[in-house]
């Protein structure tokens, strides 16, 4: 019997400093990317879930581009995003983390998550749009599929993400 298995490795940033600060007990990004490389080399469908994406810390175009590029270099077969979700039990800890490490980001986070667990849909849509742009502007090189985290983008026929360029409709 053959089982279809898909492994999603969460990598919210490739910045060692941001990763160490925001997830001090997690494996560093380079180790997770190496795990993706080894899984794919072994024939396992493995990709990167850019998660959690932290507003003001890892949600910039530059940061997402860097995660997507690192995913591509590791051979990831798909790429998706997952914004920060603040369940009620997590919210006070995250706000305390911001207050201690990034106090300038605290007011915006408190406003964004005051009455909600997930960020607003427009923000999530913007991240998904960036994911698609980062992992291949030329839509014919990827296919969209449903994943537990939402939309993900799979490389088709062993292709590699196309470089972003203005001639393809992306941002240089």
Alpha carbon distance 72, 89 (integer Å): 35
Helix count and strand count (H, E) for the chain = 6, 5
Give the pLDDT confidence of 115-161 residue by residue, as tens digits.
999 999 898 888 888 777 766 533 333 444 444 444 555 544 344 44
Alpha carbon distance 172, 163 (integer Å): 9
- Give this prediction's pTM: 0.76
Give the pLDDT confidence of 64-107 residue by residue, as tens digits.
888 988 998 999 988 888 899 999 999 999 999 999 999 999 99
Residue 47 clears pLDDT 80, i.e. is over it: yes
Q: What are the tokens at 86?
A: 């603040």
Phi, psi of 10 (to 5 degrees): -80, 125
Spatial CB neighbours of 80, under 8 Å, sequence gap ≥ 6: 8, 47, 48, 49, 50, 131, 147, 149, 150, 151, 152, 153
* pLDDT for residue 152: 52
Q: What are the tokens at 20?
A: 């160490």
Alpha carbon distance 45, 154 (integer Å): 10
* pLDDT for residue 134: 62
Q: What are the tokens at 164?
A: 């972003």
């Amino acid at each position: 019997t053959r089982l279809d298995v898909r492994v999603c490795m969460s990598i919210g940033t490739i910045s060692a400093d941001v990763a160490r600060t925001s997830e001090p007990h997690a494996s560093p990004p380079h180790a997770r990317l190496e795990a993706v490389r080894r899984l794919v080399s072994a024939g396992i469908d493995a990709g990167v879930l850019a998660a959690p994406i932290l507003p003001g810390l890892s949600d910039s175009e530059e940061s997402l581009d860097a995660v997507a590029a690192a995913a591509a270099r590791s051979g990831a077969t798909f790429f998706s995003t997952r914004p920060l979700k603040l369940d009620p039990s997590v919210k006070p800890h995250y706000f305390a983390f911001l207050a201690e490490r990034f106090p300038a980001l605290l007011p915006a986070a408190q406003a964004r998550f005051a009455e909600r667990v997930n960020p607003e849909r427009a923000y999530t849509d913007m991240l998904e749009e960036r994911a698609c742009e980062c992992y291949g502007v030329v839509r014919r090189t990827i296919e969209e599929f449903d994943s537990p985290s939402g939309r993900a983008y799979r490389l088709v026929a062993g292709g590699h993400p196309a470089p972003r360029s203005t001639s393809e409709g992306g941002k240089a």
